[in-house]
């Protein structure tokens, strides 16, 4: 019998008992559907992470001072004074593979405007910060090198702070007070959303670094809490890291054997770590879904066994008119494969639908990958072969006389 005849025969047999066929393939439908939905979700999460990391700025390198060790008591990251403003100047001067370098010192402050006030994150930084982190203002302008040089008391508000203090009013050229120092609002940042760590990146106020040192830093005016650098391009990010390390080690007079008293990270490392987390999530969810594919296969095996028993007489007739046992084997195997492939096709459709529903309901990004759908469909076919083989072999091994006598 040729493939077309076999396929037609299988479809006819399956269509005779639609309710049973549907129940049988339900396991495959759920299995394939779940795999596709989960992988779509995982791919969406992956893309989200990539986007958020890109939102930190391109070619970003982060410098954090090392930990203090005072009489054996170790402070956390950033607790030491190992990096100071002179280090920043030296790095700017000597490292050629970075284009921008911005110190970023912060503290929690109460900001007041009229009778409104709000507790927020005050960030003292240089104009390079806007470039390095790829932050832009929605309205107004960023602060300039001139503001830095003239110690101008101007500030740029994050979207959250602007809303909290001024509601829907335009905050530009309004005055706010931070630690009793009046600042003129010159810009409002465009919304950045959550950071990869889940904090609100819009809940911040930026002021010139020079003003921060002078009016906000108290006794720690030379100390640097963090600095952000931009490498010339993504490829030179490692080179920039190495150069910065060399400069800082030399300036800090560290011996060959001593550990760094600062830490430098590039974005690629952070991205890789996040991707790994997303990957293992996808794998975990996918394998749970895969289990239901297995259960679906067992369902098909069960139905095929019942079918072989029910159709013993038919098998006897076929053998009597000249079917070889291989003909019978192929007939039932094709039936099992067609059955599970139907389940696979419905599953692909449902998986796609589930992914859509999930992103509509939760706002998570899901990405439907046709290659994954094709693979899941192929696997459902393979499940049919694997779980259909035993029932088909039982059919093929029936004795013609016994089969014909079967009532």
Partner 1 sequence: MSEVPVIDTEHLQKVYSAGGTPLVALADVTLRVQKGEFVAVVGASGSGKSTFMNLIGLLDRPTSGVLRLDGVDVARLTPNQRAVVRNRKIGFVFQGFNLLRRTSALENVELPLLYAGVPARVRTDAAKQALTQVGLGERMGHMPNELSGGQQQRVAIARALVNQPALLLADEPTGNLDSTTTREILTLFVDLNVNHGITVVMVTHELDVAAVSRRVVQFKDGHLVMDGPPPPEWTPAVPAPWHVAKTSEVA
**Which residues sit at the interface with partner 1, rule CB under 8 A?**
1, 5, 16, 313-314, 316-327, 400-401, 404
> With respect to partner 1, which residue has the nearer C-beta, 236 or 325?
325
> With respect to partner 1, which residue has the nearer C-beta, 76 or 322?
322
Cα 34 from Cα 52, distance rounded (Å):
27
Of 36, 41, 42, the closest CA to residue 280 belongs to 42
Of 68, 102, 77, 99, the closest CA to residue 88 belongs to 102
Please tell me the chain's helix, strand, coil percentages from 3-state DSSP, rounded to the nearest 5.
55, 20, 25
> With respect to partner 1, which residue has the nearer C-beta, 19 or 321?
321
Nearest distance, CB of residue 316 and partner 1, angstroms: 8
> With respect to partner 1, which residue has the nearer C-beta, 181 or 330?
330
Nearest distance, CB of residue 313 and partner 1, angstroms: 7
- The total of other beta-carbon atoms located within 10 Å of residue 407's CB is 4
Nearest distance, CB of residue 320 and partner 1, angstroms: 5
Token code pair at residue 155: 């500030």
Token code pair at residue 178: 């931070």
Q: What is the largest CA-CA distance in the chain?
A: 105
Token code pair at residue 138: 């929605």
Name the DSSP class of 191: P
> With respect to partner 1, which residue has the nearer C-beta, 16 or 255?
16
Nearest distance, CB of residue 284 and partner 1, angstroms: 46
Cα 188 from Cα 171, distance rounded (Å):
8
- The total of other beta-carbon atoms located within 10 Å of residue 29's CB is 26
Cα 407 from Cα 399, distance rounded (Å):
14
CB 194 within 8 A of CB 49: no
Nearest distance, CB of residue 10 and partner 1, angstroms: 14
Nearest distance, CB of residue 322 and partner 1, angstroms: 2
Name the DSSP class of 367: -
Mapped onto helix, strand or coil, the DSSP state of residue 104 is strand
Nearest distance, CB of residue 385 and partner 1, angstroms: 22
Backbone Cα Rg of the chain: 33
> With respect to partner 1, which residue has the nearer C-beta, 14 or 293?
14
CA separation, residue 202 to residues 138, 216, 395 (Å): 12, 21, 69
> With respect to partner 1, which residue has the nearer C-beta, 290 or 400?
400
Nearest distance, CB of residue 400 and partner 1, angstroms: 5
> With respect to partner 1, which residue has the nearer C-beta, 5 or 309?
5
């Amino acid at each position: 019998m040729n493939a077309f005849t076999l396929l037609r025969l299988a479809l006819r047999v399956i269509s005779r008992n639609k309710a049973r066929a549907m129940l049988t393939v339900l396991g495959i439908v759920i299995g394939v559907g779940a795999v596709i939905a989960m992988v779509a979700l995982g791919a969406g999460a992956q893309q989200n992470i990539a986007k958020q990391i890109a939102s930190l700025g391109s070619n970003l390198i982060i410098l954090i001072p090392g930990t203090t060790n005072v009489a054996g008591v170790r402070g956390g990251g950033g607790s030491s004074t190992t990096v100071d403003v002179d280090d920043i100047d030296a790095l700017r001067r000597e490292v050629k593979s970075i284009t921008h370098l911005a110190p970023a010192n912060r503290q929690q402050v109460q900001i007041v405007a009229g009778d409104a006030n709000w507790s927020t994150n005050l960030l003292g930084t240089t104009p390079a910060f806007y470039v390095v982190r790829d932050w832009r203002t929605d309205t107004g302008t960023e602060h300039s090198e001139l503001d830095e040089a003239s110690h101008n008391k101007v500030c740029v508000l994050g979207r959250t702070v602007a809303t909290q203090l001024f509601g829907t009013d335009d905050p530009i050229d309004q005055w706010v007070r931070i630690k009793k120092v009046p600042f003129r609002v010159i810009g409002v940042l465009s919304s950045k959303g959550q950071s990869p760590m889940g904090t609100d990146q819009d809940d911040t106020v930026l002021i010139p670094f020079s003003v921060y040192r002078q009016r906000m830093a108290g006794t720690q005016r030379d100390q640097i809490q963090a600095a952000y650098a931009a490498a010339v391009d993504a490829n030179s990010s490692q080179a920039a890291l190495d150069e910065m390390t060399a400069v800082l080690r030399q300036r800090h007079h560290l011996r060959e054997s001593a550990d760094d008293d600062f830490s430098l990270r590039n974005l690629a490392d952070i991205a890789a770590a996040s991707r790994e987390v997303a990957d293992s999530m996808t794998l975990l969810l996918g394998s749970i879904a895969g289990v239901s594919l297995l259960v679906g296969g067992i369902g098909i095996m069960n139905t095929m066994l019942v079918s072989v028993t029910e159709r013993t007489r038919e098998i006897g007739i076929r053998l009597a008119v000249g079917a070889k046992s291989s003909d019978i084997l192929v007939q039932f195997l094709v039936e099992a494969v067609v059955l599970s492939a139907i389940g696979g096709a419905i599953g692909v459709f449902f998986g796609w639908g589930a992914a859509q529903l999930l992103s509509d309901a939760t706002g998570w990004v899901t990405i439907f990958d046709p290659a994954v759908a094709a693979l899941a469909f192929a696997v459902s076919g393979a499940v049919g072969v694997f779980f259909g083989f035993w029932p088909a072999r039982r059919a093929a091994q029936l004795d013609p006389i016994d089969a014909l006598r079967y009532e």
